[in-house]
Structure 1
Amino acid sequence: MATSLSSRLRASIATLMHVTGDSQRDLAAVLGVSQGQVSRRQSGSAAWSLDQCEVLAAHWGIDALDLLAGPTRASEALPERSTR
C-alpha cells in the first residue's frame, strides 16, 4: 500500500527534527505559529500547507520537493552543518 503524501511529509518532518535537534517549539518559531499548531499538523489532525513546507525546507536548507519525497530523501538532502 502506498503511503499518502501527508503521511510522508509528517515522517520527513519528524526525521529532520530528530536529525537536527529541532523541537516543535523551534518549528513553531520558524513558522510564526504556536507549538500546538505544529503538534496538530504532526499528529495529522491538521494539514501542513505548501507555504509552510517551503518555509520548513528553507529552514533546513533543502528543496521543498525533497521534504515531500519522504524521510530518506529529506535527510540525505540536508547540508552537513544541519545534523547534530
Structure 2
Amino acid sequence: MDDKKAAILSEIPRLRRYARSLLRDRDSADDLVQDCLERALVRLNNWQTGESPRRWLFTIMHHLFIDQMRKVNRRGEATMLPL
C-alpha cells in the first residue's frame, strides 16, 4: 500500500466522528464516510503530496454532505407541490 492510501486510511476514525456529528445517524454517517473514501481514492491524484490528508478528506466529505442535503431538500419540496 502506498503512503497516500495509508494516510487516507489513518483518517477514517476522524471522518466517522465528523460524519456522525453532521448526520446524527450512525448508518447514514457510515454511508457518507464510504462515499468520501470512494471519491478520495478515485481522485487520489488530485491530492498534493505535503498537503494535509485530513483537510482534503474533510473538504470532500463536507461537499458530499451539502450535495446530500440539497437532494433531500429538493425531494421534500417536490412532494409538497399541489396535485
What range describes the TM-score normalised by the shorter chain of this pair?
A: 0.3 to 0.5
Higher relative CO (Cα under 8 Å, sequence separation at least 6) belongs to 1
Q: Counting helix residues as a fraction of each chain, which structure ranks higher?
A: 2
TM-score when normalising by structure 1: 0.35
